[in-house]
Structure 1
């Protein structure tokens, strides 16, 4: 069975055909997914989905691009939601220096607040990183995020950074880019990171794996990510599926 650790089935791209998407995921062997809410509307929708579907869990947090919009009330609301039995992580959170909607200092402050909240409610964190690796690693160390650990979602950094994150009690999650012909770094990361620290994801509807690159991604395609990792590591697909599922259940505290 496969565990897709990062989906946005709460996105408008799935409004029309969610049932068919879920059916295809189950046919592909996907047994669990974590739906990510990262602002008011997407968190509300994520919670609706996890209430409705047994195999769905939620991560709730605030996206760095929208950090400037987050209020203290939002933070309190996220803390309240953290008590829900199907909320398994805080996030996605982090830093995004590609978009400039939220100033860097605001992003950092919101990031720190969410790490502190996660430590308070004792849940792992899900990290979004875009062109901000050094600052993310520094903040994770300063805030002692290793106390709760978490996931470097859709990891795009170097093997060296990946190892550093593993030392800080983080799992490395790989998605569609590991299947891209020209994606050198994700393949190198897949090669060097121990299997017991790897997770798989789609980040659907974004970042669809080869041969669907550029199209809408969906949880069924996580199988292609697992197959590629198996090929890189020279092990069976079943081993990758089993171990990454066990890892996901461990970090999310799912029996």
Structure 2
């Protein structure tokens, strides 16, 4: 399933390959001092599209403003599970307005998180379910956050898909689950977001990368977090996407050109408005 608005206003050749960062928090304070330079480095690295998600209403609105000011930037709007303590149904009205913007590609970052005790799980679930319904209403995919919560999250996603008669799709961002859980996600039709963590030593992560089909992968930095080796410890940024792509190619024993082509096609399939 793909979602597309025809008023995106960009003209891009269907044969023009480029890297995209499918999840990058340029709307956080870590980028306040040098955002133009960050974007210049991304362009120099061949990263020409950057999807900036919201984690609360303020960052969603800032992401929209950044998308309006920068051709390379698109945005998603949503309330992160760790920001859900003050969630209320009235926020949905404002998110709906943001989601109607021509450069809004998804609802996110939304999901569940039991790793940190920032918000009761019940509140996270309430926020998630209302935003899943909004995604179906607006015909937008979702950017899903899942941290130590797969057993709680995945049944909610399946239930939402059933209510929507299958009209719900998206990406499991920063996927860090087992190969068994990977198969469940793939069977549900979702894409897998891979980031800098796949460059860290982890047999489990390596197994996931080897098993996930190329046509189901998106690349992301999750910047400023999860910086890939050899830059781990420094701030992450979109220019590191080719490093992540190189690691995928090595683990899957294919060419980096194959990775770039497949990931580009996956991005365009899920977010056709990136092509214009």
Q: Deviations over 1:71-90 (max 9, x none)?
A: 22211111111111100000
1:61 aligns with 78
Residue 33 of structure 2 aligns to a residue whose secondary structure is coil
- Distance (whole Å) between structure 1 residues aligned to residue 43 and residue 168 of structure 2: 30
Task: Tell me which residue corresponds to 2:246.
Answer: 227
Distance 2:54 2:83 in 1: 12
Distance (Å, rounded) in 2 between the aligned partners of 1:114 and 1:21: 31
Using CA pairs under 8 Å that are at least 6 residues apart, name the structure with larger relative contact order, 1 or 2: 2
Matched, 1:251 2:251: no
Q: Give CA deviations for 1:148-207 in whole Å, capped at 9, x if unaligned.
A: 210000000011111211111100010000011x22222111101111101100000000
1:201 alignment partner in structure 2: 220
Q: Show the counterpart of 1:188.
A: 207
Superposed, 1:21-100 pairs within 5 Å as 21-100=38-117
Q: CA RMSD in A?
A: 1.1
Q: Which residue number corresponds to residue 191 of structure 2?
A: 171
Aligned to 1:217: 236
Number of the residue aligned with 2:15: none
Structure 1 runs (4+) deviating above 6 angstroms are none
Deviations 1:197-234 (A, max 9, x none): 01100000000000111210000011111000001111
CA distance in 2, matches of 1:220, 1:22: 8
Correspondence 1:7-22 to 2 at 5 A: 7-22=24-39
Q: TM-score, normalised by structure 1?
A: 0.97
Q: Which residue of 2 aligns with 1:6?
A: 23
Deviations 1:229-254 (A, max 9, x none): 00111111111112101101211232
Whole-angstrom CA distance in 2 between matches of 1:27 and 1:249: 21
Q: Conserved in 2, the CA contact under 8 Å of 1:174 and 1:186?
A: no
Find the residue that maps to 1:212 and give its secondary structure.
Answer: coil
Question: Which whole-Å CA distance do the structure 1 matches of 2:187 and 2:211 have between them?
Answer: 14
Match of 2:157 among 140, 144, 152: 140
Q: What is the TM-score normalised by the length of structure 2?
A: 0.90
Deviation by residue 1:80-133 (Cα, 9 ceiling, x = unmatched):
111111000001100010111211111111111111110111100010011101
1:241 to 260, 263, 267: 260
CA contact (8 A) 2:87 2:123 kept: no
Q: Distance in 1 between matches of 2:261 and 2:124?
A: 36
C-alpha distance in structure 2 between counterparts of 1:121 and 1:40, whole Å: 17
Work out the CA distance in 1 between the residues paired with 2:170 and 2:67: 20
